[in-house]
Structure 1
Amino acid sequence: MGPHRIVLDCGLRDLAALEAARDRIETADLLFCSHAHSDHARGVREFSQRFPQVPIYGSEVTAQLLPLNWLGETVPPHLCQALPWQTPISLADDLTVQIWPAGHLPGAACALFTYHSPQRPYTVFFTGDFFMSNSRLVDGLPLEALRGLKPDVLIIEGSAGTVRHPHRRQQENLLASTIQSLVQQGRSVLLPTPTLGIGQELVMLLRSHYQFTGQDITVWVDETVAAGCDLYLELMPEFPSSVQNFARHQPLFWDERILPRVRRLGVDGHPEADCPCIMIAHREVDLSDHCRNSNQAWTVLLPDSFATAMADLLLATSSDPGPTLGWLQTLVPELESEQVQLDTYQLTTHSDRVGTTQLIHNLRPQHVAFVHGKPTHLADLAGLEELQTRYQLHLPSAGNEVEFPIGDRFIQPAAPEPIFDGEITEIDDSVLLLLPEALTTDPRWAALADTGLVQARWQGHELVIKGLNQRDLMRTVTSSDTPWQPPSCQTCRHQREGRCRNPNSPLYGLQVSPEGVCPVFEARPARAEQDDEASA
């Protein structure tokens, strides 16, 4: 920005890639670390060693969470300088920064950099990873506080592409039901997680969700994830008021008195051989022994974003499994005997298409640069007509410099070509859809054509086609004729005309939200739903 150089995050495992730009980095004004997740921060300590003259900034919470990326190693006490929320801070005579919470992770921040030139101020807004919805331990990005900033350039993550996610509470309810069902079947559940974020969210979910309240289940947490829990407890004033209120009445994480009990793996013992349990452990640690040396059957639940990598590993198509999932390959005999099963779950911490476009429209930038996501996902976002007609869109690639000319005249960027024309032909009692062969060059084709079967459904006036993979087919075979729905007032037999009619419910007589739920939920019989639809 003008004469200033700013480094945004440093999640590289090996900083050798920075040597090509060493001259520019050595003269950088600062490194801004958006949050403490390893893919954004694991290279910060080595960066400080190589470029000690470059100051590092982040939020107060990020500054305290950063050392968890280097457990057991020496970390300088003031590696990261803390910035206050929503206060412009001068970094140089003509350069300021202002940060806001970004959701996603405690301490995660988005930042507005302003270069005050003699002609006019120039602004760049960097989102880092952001999440619009509230989660168990983090409030969502405060959209109202950012409305109308009109930055010249917006650098925004596009991890989720144009996918639309279910409501966060629906995801939590489905995950809780899945875990409870597995435990009732006598299976132990293993949840590999990173050091920060999802691990602590899962502990809090199991501690506070109505399906687990009072259940005689032990939740084991390994030492790495436990270190994150302990540090969270030191940052309690920074958490949402709902979390602080919970902590006033019972411990946030470690508790032996109130069920389900939460224990530290190793420190408080180990799982009993004949009793189902839930284990939350760091994903880069070899967790195979827990599954192998047990009388219990195990189910390993992985985030759905790992589904493709998981399949590659088990099919031995990945020559370099890396540290994250490599230990799964040692469980092939157990997987074949079904002593160990693999499944996925969805618990998003990144904004979907709706949240991403909503933030862009509220900020109203001139330039939008999509980063931090699969190229196909970023191209999908750049292909949205609602964005193409309003903003200058950019898809930066590694190693190539991108300039953002600032002016009053809007230049329509060239649109990507993600659309394929085809033909539909009716044949006897079926429909034949013909698409060009060029479609198969897209890396997503392998997932769509995994089994050669697809599922189609109407979405408004559009027909959406989804590929069915092996796991989808297994769910179809084992499921009943009636599709399962998560518990909610919308599907409860006692909900009538928007009010609860169950005298045993704490919501009795009250008007209820369709997404609401209570401990005495009873599913509406399938026949009753059909009768309701017929009468409607």
Structure 2
Amino acid sequence: MHRTQPEAEGQARQPPAEAAVRKERQRRPARRPGRRPQGRRRRRAGDHRPAGAAGRPAPTPGGPPLPGRRPAHGAAAGRRRRAAHEPARPGRPAPRRRVRPLARPARHPLGGDDHIGGSCLLVESGDTRLLVDAGIRPGDTPEPPRDIAAALQARPEAVVVTHAHADHCGYVPALAARLPRLRVVATPESCRLMPVMWQDSLKVMQQRADVRNSYGGSWQPLYDRTAMDDAVTRLEELPVGVPRRIGDLTVELFPAGHILGAAGAVVRAGDRRVVVTGDISGFRQESVDGYRLPDGARGADLLVLESTCCAEKHDDRETRVGDLVSTVADVHAAGGRVLIPAFALGRAQELALLMRTRLPHVPVLVDGMAKDLTRTFESAADLSIFGGNVAPAPRPPAYDSFTEGVVIATSGMLTAGPAVEWAARILPEADSAVLLSGYQDEESGGRRLLDDARGGAPVHELPARHGTRSVPLRARVDQIRLSAHADRHGLLDIADETRAAQVMLVHGVPWKQRGFRQTLDVRGHATARTAPWQAT
């Protein structure tokens, strides 16, 4: 079951009964006046600065977190918490308390900063540390965030997940297995979608491990079923616009567009604020609206801005949708069928809705993981996708009996899954088409297909379980980008609207980030290096 925290979370705990306080005092060992235990630093109520171990240096501004530090716990911590709420005893003045301000927030990129995949940011203030995202780096054998060891050393109290794509949430089960007290916080929609994503990722990892290890390898999935089930029990729903206290930090989520449930985060430490956009878009899609910045994001100390498409200028979305609809209509009128490989979450549902509203006379099947996720998507979004001309693909597969219409199938980069099986039947058909709707990695099957088609190759090598298989290449092959990321102008609009003291770019390619950083400088935005940062 997902745990939904009460709105009043973060308010002070009620003081213990006075009898319990007296009983606790009786158990305390007597101390000589003016003395305190060696090597221990006195902690006063309101003092949130890192305590550290005796002899350990304080962190330098902008430096990495000290390994092994963790929030205070045990009997001493309990006494400090009780003292903070202890009422004054009759005849004795209330204890004097010196309140110090919260430590300045620091932010450390641990993955997905100068590359795309494995997103993970560490934010800390005082004794509190939290992560924003913990994704996997995609590949033949998925990998954790680049600096995951630093995240484990920091022992964060929580991970705030911006959305349910695997490159942002895929490592959470493995992280939760190693951090037994870790909280997993996300929007209600993401809390519904992530378990489906984790289950499918585990299935794919197990299949890849079987194949790899059959040739003498020893690779194992990043987590097992027990870890996944445990992570599901840790999920805490946090609706957008509702602040939640996590130790010395307060987190507020805001709508980020992109896909269902995607959210940016405003992280506060006192009057200091860091805004993390996650993946973000400002245009309306069939399944989700664009981002909405809260007042608390404006004038922040730091804006951590994604930069996936920071060097691109996208055509008007309606123009791109029109091109897709026109191509599908032409192929259908000629008696052919269309395969659209699509990412399982977000893109597949968007395409299905477009086909249902723009081409209601064309039959559409949704296959693979996209079929399972669409059912969860409908429930989480209170939205109808299946129905009318759109249906889940039947079992056994209708590879040969479904002779005209559209197939939306995973994987989006044509690397595995039913999309590859459909491509094996459709590519040899001269009246049919394969339309790649999203980004294609340099090593992906989709990119190789595009290169072969543009080069006039008569055959194409499709990926297979053990190697490749050759198929005739007669169908039309094209790419129609329907990006769910803000482009260059959209990102500039976000920076202008936020007007943060500094802007840091993440989730992008270094050479593109360098050019966009120069553009931000010209427009009057102070930029920070994609590196450890601390508020001044």
Identify whether the pair has TM-score above 0.5, normalized to the shorter chain: yes
Which of 516, 519, 526 is 1:381 aligned to? 516
Alignment-derived partner of residue 334 in structure 1 = 472
Cα offsets for 1:25-78 (capped at 9, x unmatched)? 32x132111000111111111111122222111111111110121236553342
Q: CA deviation at 1:104?
A: 0.5
**1:290 maps to which residue?**
422
**Aligned to 1:130, what secondary structure does the other structure show?**
coil
1:85 to 211, 216, 240: 240
Task: Return the match for 2:403 from 271, 275, 292.
Answer: 275
What one-letter code is carried by the residue in structure 2 that aligns with 1:301?
L
- Structure 1 alignment gaps of length 5 or more: 238-243, 245-251, 317-324, 407-536
Contact 2:399 2:425 in 1 (8 A): no
- Which of 166, 170, 181 is the aligned partner of 1:42? 170
Instruction: Tell me if structure 2 keeps the 8 A contact 1:190–1:281.
Output: yes
Distance apart, 1:392 and its partner CA = 2.4
Once the two structures are superposed, the pairs formed by residues 473-512 of structure 1 within 5 Å of their partners are: none
Aligned residue for 1:403? 533
Cα offsets for 1:200-249 (capped at 9, x unmatched):
0011000011xx13x2x321111411111111221244xxxxxx5xxxxx
Provide Cα deviations, 1:71-109, integer angstroms capped at 9, x if missing partner: 3655334232111211221112x3111111100111100
The answer to whether the 8 Å contact 2:193/2:376 transfers is: yes
Greater CA radius of gyration, 1 or 2?
2
Q: SS in structure 2 opposite 1:235? A: helix
Q: Is the contact between residue 450 and residue 478 of structure 2 (CA under 8 Å) also seen in structure 1?
A: no
C-alpha distance 262-268 of structure 1, shift in aligned 2 (>3 A): farther
Q: Contact 2:159–2:184 at 8 Å: present in 1 too?
A: yes
3-state SS of the aligned residue for 1:141?
Answer: coil
Partner AA of 1:37 in structure 2 = H
Alignment-derived partner of residue 126 in structure 1: 276
State the superposition RMSD in angstroms.
2.7
For residue 360 of structure 1, the aligned residue among 492, 495, 499 is: 495
* Residues 275, 297 of structure 2: 8 Å contact kept: no
Residue 277 of structure 1 deviates from its aligned partner by 2.1
**Residue 148 to residue 403, structure 1, CA distance change in 2 (3 Å):** closer
Change (3 A) 1:273 1:148: closer
Deviations 1:442-475 (A, max 9, x none): xxxxxxxxxxxxxxxxxxxxxxxxxxxxxxxxxx
Deviation at 1:15, TM superposition (A): 3.1
The answer to whether structure 1 residue 21 and structure 2 residue 150 are counterparts is: yes
Counterparts of 1:343 and 1:301, CA distance in 2: 5
What's the counterpart of residue 306 of structure 1? 440
* Alpha-carbon distance in structure 2 between the residues aligned to 1:68 and 1:133: 27
1:182 to partner: Cα distance: 2.1
Letter in 2 for 1:122: R
- SS of the aligned residue for 1:377 comes to helix
Cα distance change on mapping 1:113 and 1:288 into 2, 3 Å: closer
Aligned equivalents of 1:301 and 1:236: distance in 2? 27
1:299 Cα shift? 2.0
Mapped contact 1:274–1:296 kept (Cα < 8 A): no
**Aligned twin of 1:166:** 315
CA distance in 1, matches of 2:391, 2:403: 15
| Residue-by-residue CA offset, 1:377-430 (whole Å, 9 max, x unaligned) | 22221020x53452321342xxxx422442xxxxxxxxxxxxxxxxxxxxxxxx
For residue 230 of structure 1, what is the aligned residue in structure 2? 375
CA change 1:25–1:342 in 2 (3 A) is farther
Give the conservation status (yes or no) of the 8 Å contact 2:187–2:238: yes
TM-score (norm 2): 0.62
State how far apart, in whole Å, the 1-side matches of 2:424 and 2:143 are.
Answer: 34
Percentage of matched positions with identical amino acids: 23
The one-letter amino acid paired with 2:188 is E
Mean CA deviation greater in 50-59 or 11-20: 11-20
The separation in 1 between residues aligned to 2:350 and 2:480, in whole angstroms, is 14
Return the offset for 1:292: 3.1
Question: In structure 2, what is the Cα distance between the partners aligned to 1:23 and 1:85?
Answer: 28
| One-letter amino acid of the counterpart of residue 363, structure 2 | T
Q: Give the alignment of 1:152-163 within 5 angstroms.
A: 152-163=301-312
Using the TM superposition, name which of 302-311 and 351-360 deviates more: 302-311
Match of 1:349 in 2: 484
Residue 386 (structure 2) pairs with residue 254 (structure 1) = yes
What's the CA shift for 1:304? 5.0
Structure 1 residues 124, 326: CA separation in 2 closer, same or farther (over 3 Å shift)? farther
For 2:183, the equivalent position in structure 1 comes to 55
Which residue pairs with 1:423 in the alignment?
Answer: none
Label 1:166 to 1:315 Cα distance change in 2 as closer, same or farther (>3 A): closer
For the residues of structure 1 that align with 2:356 and 2:396, how far apart are their CA atoms? Answer: 18
Structure 2 counterpart of 1:263: 391
Mapped partners of 1:130, 1:196: distance in 2: 15
Q: Is the 8 A contact 1:171 1:347 kept in 2?
A: yes
Q: Residue type of the partner of 1:221?
A: V
Quote how far apart the aligned CAs of 1:268 are. 8.0
TM-score, reference length from structure 1: 0.62
Counterpart AA for 2:273: T
- The equivalent residue for 2:334 is 185
Match of 2:13 in 1: none
Q: Deviations over 1:100-139 (max 9, x none)?
A: 11001111001100012xxxx2110000001101100101
Cα drift, residue 147 of structure 1: 8.0
SS at match of 1:104: coil
Number of equivalenced pairs: 362
Counterparts of 1:354 and 1:381 in 2: how far apart (Å)?
10
2:229 is paired with a residue whose SS is coil
One-letter amino acid matched to 2:166: S
Mapped contact 2:374–2:385 kept (Cα < 8 A): yes
What residue in structure 2 maps to residue 95 of structure 1? 249
Counterpart contact for 1:382–1:394, Cα < 8 Å: no
Q: Which residue of 2 aligns with 1:248?
A: none
Amino acid at match of 2:282: M
SS of equivalent residue, structure 2 residue 311: coil
Letter in structure 2 aligned against 1:83: L
Check the 8 A contact 1:36/1:65 in 2, yes or no. Answer: yes
Report how far residue 160 of structure 1 moved: 0.5
